[in-house]
Amino acid sequence: MTSALLILLLICFSLSGLSGMALALHYVPTPEDAYASIAWVQEQLPGGVFVRSLHVFSVSGFIALAYLLVLWLLLSRAYRELPWAIWGCSLLLLVLGLGSGFTGSLLPWTQHAYWDATIRLGIMGQTPVIGPALQRIAQGSGELGLTTLPRYAALHQILLPWLLAATLIPLIRHFLPASASTKELLIRHGIALAGVALVALISLVQPAHLGAIADLASQYAAARPEWWFLPLFQLRKMVSGPQEVLWMLLLLNAAGLWLLSLPWLDRGRWSKPVLGITITGVLALLVLFTLGLGDRPPLAGEAAKMAETSPGAFQVLPSAVTADSL
Amino acid sequence: MPPSPLPDLERRRLVLTLGLLWGGAALGLAVPVLRLLAAPLDSELMGEGDELSVELDLAEHPLTDQWREVKLVVQERRAWRASVPKVQPAFVRELAGQIEVVSGVCTHLGCHVLLEPDGTFHCPCHDGKFDAHARYASGPPPRDLDRLEARRTEQTLRIRLPRPEETA
């Protein structure tokens, strides 16, 4: 199971790297050009929709697989036998994957991504004491815009891929030993090929939508986070109040610490209650996730409208020359 | 290394099959990626197929037998939007009923030439010189200044700018 997940994670990582590199050939990280350049790739370039869909779905797949890897190691209690660093790497893989998804989703500067990021950065800004400074660093200035996109692009295109690779390597060395029987090698190749075929097939059959361009003048009430953040979104709705950010932070940090120290906690006579708490946590996560999926935006019509690519996203005006006499 | 449980022939066939499958997958992925890489080769797509021409209002730009500089502001569509305007000089005169338009872009390395008081042209970058008929006089330029196609109507003069690949 873990080796299959690892192979598919590696395939998604490679596919997103390849398609991401191809998109980066045309993408320009400014509010003026971001949407138009991606819309142009998607609508004018032959193969553009396929490459962008490949990117969207392989990143989505990577995050789903990273969730599954952590869940599997958790529920099979494999963390007790694993070296602690390997357990830590699988948790880190999920965190870095979520970071890649979040930074990447803002890059095309769509209405959906803009308002989603506005809300998320607003939450960040409410962190006690260091919040405002954190928000300024994340935005590059006091507002989400020109100064933000280059930062997100740098994180998404340079820093996070390297960190992800550095986290994947020890996991692969641990879960996919080089000395494998012929039969095992065959199975690995089969899983990998099936993974490539599946992502390519989805990209061909159900290409990714771009959605409407960011409209800074109209608040977008249908803004919802990407699916991978749905549990957090639901949680925040539940704890809303003056101290919501503080509670969220405490809860997330407690969950992180709990997971990291599980190999020591789940021992001897404490095993049973520890396991109970962990399983409750996992169930709560699944419930929050289901609630999030069922929580349709209040303005379904607006959401549908926002799913369409803005017409005339790029100007296809003929070139012009004007004369200026001396 | 454990001994292979498969006979040699079968093993070879297996490696071949896997190789073919991976090769197919790599090819299927490489083609669309390479098309994105090679997009600039399609000049139509990048906006470079559009004809570049300008209409001079002759009332505003009266023609004489002396060269007169016209600054042409070129703004091309580049992929998804209009490019940054590029200014390019041209020189116009009417000599014995013949309208002449020459490009002010030096044929050496593309600097802008200057019109001297004596009606000749001088390129300040590498000291290239052209005579009063815009013909090569001295210095490194390989040929005369480029002549631009121009068509006259009642009130206007339509000048067509050549594409970089048309001038050689």
Q: Nearest residue of B to residue A34 by CA position? A: B80
CB contact under 8 A, B36 and A54: no
Residue A305 has pLDDT above 70, yes or no: no
Residue A128 has pLDDT above 90, yes or no: no
Average pLDDT over residues A108-130: 86
Average pLDDT over residues B51-68: 83
- If phi > 0 it is left, if psi is from -120 to 50 it is alpha, else beta; for residue A224 that is beta
Q: State residue B15's pLDDT score.
A: 86
B159: chain A residues, CB-CB within 8 Å: 323
Q: What is the mean pLDDT of chain A?
A: 86
Residue A222 has pLDDT above 80, yes or no: no
Please count the residue pairs, one from chain A and one from chain B, whose beta carbons lie less than 8 angstroms apart. 132
Average pLDDT over residues A148-172: 95
CB contact under 8 A, A25 and B37: yes
Q: State residue A214's pLDDT score.
A: 84
Scan for tokens 């012009």, then name that residue: A320
CB contact under 8 A, A324 and B87: yes
CB contact under 8 A, A322 and B72: yes
The values of phi and psi at residue A246, to 5°, are -60, -45
Q: State residue A66's pLDDT score.
A: 95
CB contact under 8 A, A197 and B25: yes
Least CB–CB distance from A189: residue in B18, B28, B71: B18
Distances (CA, A) of A246 to A102, A128, A240, B46: 21, 7, 10, 51
CB contact under 8 A, A197 and B74: no
A26: chain B residues, CB-CB within 8 Å: 36, 39, 79
CB contact under 8 A, B32 and A323: no
| Predicted structure pTM score | 0.82
Q: Is-contact A70 A171, C-beta < 8 A?
A: no
CB contact under 8 A, A320 and B37: no
Residue A16 has pLDDT above 60, yes or no: yes
A313: chain B residues, CB-CB within 8 Å: 80
Q: Nearest residue of B to residue A17 by CA position? A: B33
Distances (CA, A) of A166 to A175, A208, B163: 15, 29, 48
A37: chain B residues, CB-CB within 8 Å: 79-80
At B67-100, the pLDDT tens digits run 988 888 888 788 888 877 888 889 999 888 888 9
Which of A188, A319, A326 is the best residue to mutate to test the B interface, defined by the most B CB atoms within 10 Å of its own CB? A319
Distances (CA, A) of B166 to A76, A177, B41, B73, B140: 69, 60, 16, 19, 21
CA dist A304 and A302 (Å) reads 5
CA dist A34 and A128 (Å) reads 33
The values of phi and psi at residue B50, to 5°, are -65, 140
What long-range pairs does A253-256 form, CB within 8 A, spacing at least 24?
A255/A281, A256/A91
pLDDT band at B27 (very low <50, low <70, confident <90, very high): very high
Structure-block tokens of residue A39: 């819309």
The values of phi and psi at residue B84, to 5°, are -65, 130
Tell me the torsion sign for CA atoms A4, A7, A9, A11: negative
Q: Is-contact A146 A30, C-beta < 8 A?
A: yes
DSSP notation for B13-55 = HHHHHHHHHHHHHHHHHHHHHHHHHTGGG-HHHHTTTS-EEEE
Closest CA to A262 of A89, A90, A65, A84: A84
Rounded to two decimals, the ipTM of the complex is 0.77
Q: Is-contact B46 A217, C-beta < 8 A?
A: no
Strand ordering across the sheet containing B149-152: B52-57, B156-161, B149-152
Residue A228 has pLDDT above 90, yes or no: no
